Every structure is written in structure tokens, then in C-alpha cells.
Chains A and B, each alone.
Chain A
């Protein structure tokens, strides 16, 4: 492998690593925000009866949507990791 090829490969690996970190940072931020959205002072603004969503009070629908969002976002992360082969290795080996 020529020095140029080695540099290019290292550069790609670094960019991938940085891209991965950005994804994890975004996911952790999302879950922190989701948690805050479920407690005071955010949730009280949405803990109302109207508008009803699929016949249930808005305050209940809001929490159910948070539950579904939690599922879909983590599912997205999992599928992304699977496509990048990140779940095949032991975390001890990836360090």
C-alpha cells in the first residue's frame, strides 16, 4: 500500500468514526430531550383533555407518542449499527 493510499484509508476511517460520534451524540441528546418532555415544566403544557387523539385525552396520547418515538428512534439506531456491522463485535474488541 502506498503512503497516499494509507493516508486516504486512515482519513476515511477517521471520518467514519467522527460521523458515528455525531450520531451517538444526537441520539443521547434526543433521549435527554424526550425525558425532559415527559416531566415538568414541559409536560404540564400538554397534559390536557382536548384535542383528543384517536379518542384518548391529549395528555395520554402525548405520552404514548413519546413511547413510540423512543421505540422508532432506537430501532433506527440499531438498524444503522447493523448496516455498519457495529453489533457483530464485542465492545472490548472495538476499542
Chain B
């Protein structure tokens, strides 16, 4: 008889092969140019755009970390839903103009817009370095998540390092071959799969463990009411401060619409209508976080003391008490892998594109022709993947701190994006000074957290100072030529 772990393993491998087949097949439609590889020839329709953005919700952080937060910190986890409600809305207003400028001037990355607007080579180079620093911890988390899933499903037979290597070997292969179209179509497949799985498990597990969602919340309200009240609990198990909760919502909402690897997907949309529909329907994808959080709440009383908290979902799914058939456990593992891979692929693709377009080609313009750029983007995809993998092998690396740090830096792009499109008076000196001031504040407050009053996220202080400095320096220095500015600023 086939042992259970082998069935689970085979289902997971089958899923990986299917993802690979979809990823490779979809890339055949793109042209062989850099624009084809990075922006999908600006041809993506609503379905694929919807799932590319939806995959941002279902990262390994949401799929494993979401239940982990609900399990260990209760109502604090609602902040994920809160920022998803408003996070992508700015795209609705500035997205069409950014897409139109991209089409007109041939941009495929975020920094190309800023480079052109501010006639600056240093701004995109700074942004490229910043983006790569922000991407690596994010990628490491996804890789660790994939390795962890393999390790659990094979009952320790496949070590975490090998699990990460298998899953990300597949991702690298289809990103390398197919570019953004491979990312888009695999995310569509993986997104549908995750939706079904999230609702299935999110309603089944509370029913199995507590007799339903209502009895589950009744029991938690009676035995651990602090988990459902206020801002939930902080990392220390004490009630979380409202300053920390609110600033987490704010920094995530501000940062969300300007993460470079998502921002550059604006250029992939076929037309304005596709782009706007993607933003409109985004909250419907975020709704799938509701059952994900139910899973974490289901574990609070039924499985006390699970550490780390992020292990609560695999712990419940593989427990004898639940008694799920190995086929379903295999599908769950495939879903967790999907969550990790569908975020990781966009990051790898974005990192490769940014390293070549915004750093190399920007500092040495004309050095690489289109064909060479495409080749180097592919090489950089592998290099960034390899570097992240090496970090993933380091045990005990505090990724949460790195990720928080990167969110603080990325959010500094939000004021820059708004003023680029809305305020003609902003100039290169102002933009640079604002970015540097915001970045320094974020860095300093991360090094000395005691200075951040009320537990407020350092990124918020950075955004405020960044905006003030940007406005102040721009007004104190000569304006940019009016005919150049007229190309960008105006009503979005």
C-alpha cells in the first residue's frame, strides 16, 4: 500500500509540474523583445491582471502567516483586511495616466517614469538598489514557506533546503523562459486553486473543530475575549497599541500601490478599462482572507501552544484529529506552494527587470541592445533567485524585521508618485532630497525604535518628512522647464 506521505508528495509534485506546463506554454505568445518579456507587449486582459494582483494577497505570508496572526494575535490580524480595502484604490486614479505615459515613452519599469520626469539618473539607480534590498527578504520568506511545506508533507524526508530548491527551480524555469506572461497565467491557475482551497478549509475546519463559525467565536469570546477585542495582541502577547495597529494599516496601504514589481504591472494592461476593472474587483480577491483568518481562529482553543504560530495551518491540516484524506492534504500543500510561488515569481521577474533596466541600462545607456537586455534580465532573475536562496538557508534570520524595514522604504515612493503626476512644481532636487530624508528617517528609527513615539511605524515618520522636504526644497530651487513638466502633471 502507498504510504500517506507519498500520496501527499505526489499530489504536490503533480501540481508543480502542471504549473510549469502552464508557465512555459503561456510564454510562447509574447514577442522576443524586452517589452514582450517585461510588459507582455502591453496586452494583458482583465482575468490575468486580476490574478496577478490577487496573488499579492495570497503570498506565503497570507496563507501561512494570516492564520498564524489570527491564532497568536487575534483581532490584530484584521489589519490585513483593512489595508486591502484601500490599498489598490490609488491605482484607479493614477494608473491610467502611468499606463498612457508608459505606452507613449516605452517605459516598462517604475523608475523609468521618475527618471524621465526628473531627468535624473541617480533617482532610478537609488530606486533600483532600494527595490532589490526590499525584494530579497520578501523572496526569502516565500522560499522558506515553500521549503517548510515540503518538509511537513513528507514528514521530514525532504529537508527544507531541498523543498525550497524544488519549488523555486520550477519558478525560475518558467520566469526565465516566459517572462511576465508565464507569471500571469500561472498566477491565474494558482489563484483559482487557492480561492477554492481557502473557502473549503476556512469553513470546514471551524465546523469540524467547533461545530461552525458561530460556536467557534462564542467559545473564543468566552475563554479568550482579548483575542477578539480592540487591536488584538502585540508580538509580546500584551494588547497591541492603536498607534502600532493604525500605522501598520497606513504604511501597508501607502506602500501597496507603489511596490515596484506591482507598479510595473500597470504597463502590462491592454487598456484603461482593464486596468480600472482590476482595481475595482481587487477587494473581491481580498475577501478570501476572511476564511484564511477563520482557520487561525479555529486553532486558538483546539490547538493551544503551537510554535511558531505560522505553523498552525499545516498543524491542523495534518493532525489526526481532523483526519483529512492524504489527497486533500496534498492539495492543501499544493495551495501553500501556490501562495509562495505566485508571489515569488512576480518578485523575481520584477527584480531582474529592475536590475537591468533601472540600474545598468540607466547608468550606461545604449550599452545593451534590446536582445542583450532581455538576456541580462534573465540572468539577473537567476542571480537574485540564488542570492535569496542563500539567505533562506541561514537559520534564525529575522525576516519580519527585514520585511518591516523594506515596507518603510518602499512607502517612500508613494509621495513621489503622487507629486510626479499631480504637482508640476516638484523638481529633481526636491524629489531627491525628499527620498533621502525619508529613507534616513526610516533607517534611523529602525536602528533606534525607542524614538518612534507610540509604536508608530517608522515608515510613517519617513513619509511625513519626505513630503515636507520634497515640497520645501522644490519651492526653494528653480522649477523644471514647463514644456517638460506638461508631459506628466495634470489631472489623472
Q: How far is the CA of A53 from the CA of B32 in the complex (A)?
A: 53
Q: Is B463 an interface residue (CB 8 A)?
A: no
User: Contacts A70-B283, A95-B490; is A60 near B229 (CB within 8 Å)?
Assistant: no
Encoded as 1 (CB less than 8 Å from any B CB) or 0, chain A from 72 to 93 comes to 0011011001100001111110
Contact present for B75 and A60 (CB under 8 Å): yes
Q: Is B250 an interface residue (CB 8 A)?
A: yes
Q: How far is the CA of A90 from the CA of B101 in the complex (A)?
A: 10
User: Contacts A40-B242, A70-B89; is A56 near B81 (CB within 8 Å)?
Assistant: no
Q: Is B85 an interface residue (CB 8 A)?
A: yes
Contact present for B284 and A31 (CB under 8 Å): no
Q: Interface size on A (CB < 8 Å)?
A: 40
Q: How far is the CA of A35 from the CA of B212 in the complex (A)?
A: 32
User: Contacts A47-B230, A56-B213; is A71 near B82 (CB within 8 Å)?
Assistant: no
Q: Is A11 an interface residue (CB 8 A)?
A: no
Q: Is B249 an interface residue (CB 8 A)?
A: yes
Q: Is B245 an interface residue (CB 8 A)?
A: yes
Contact present for A38 and B249 (CB under 8 Å): yes
Q: How far is the CA of A78 from the CA of B92 in the complex (A)?
A: 9
Q: Which residues of A contact B387 (CB under 8 A)?
A: none
Q: How far is the CA of A87 from the CA of B277 in the complex (A)?
A: 10
Chain B interface bracket (under 10, 10 to 19, 20 to 34, 35 or more) = 35 or more
Encoded as 1 (CB less than 8 Å from any A CB) or 0, chain B from 244 to 256 comes to 0110011001000
The residue in chain A whose Cβ has the minimal distance to the Cβ of B241 is A40
Encoded as 1 (CB less than 8 Å from any A CB) or 0, chain B from 184 to 228 comes to 000000000000000000000000000011100100010001001
Give chain A nearest CB distance to B297 CB in angstroms: 9
Contact present for B217 and A39 (CB under 8 Å): no
Q: Which residues of B contact A40 (CB under 8 A)?
A: 242-243, 245-246
Checking A56, A57, A68 against B283 with a beta-carbon cut-off of 8 angstroms, the contacting residue is A68
Q: Is A26 an interface residue (CB 8 A)?
A: no
Q: Which residues of B contact A77 (CB under 8 A)?
A: 92
Q: Is B481 an interface residue (CB 8 A)?
A: no
Q: List 11 A-B contacts (CB under 8 A).
A: A35-B250, A38-B86, A44-B230, A57-B75, A57-B228, A59-B78, A59-B228, A67-B286, A75-B280, A87-B272, A92-B104
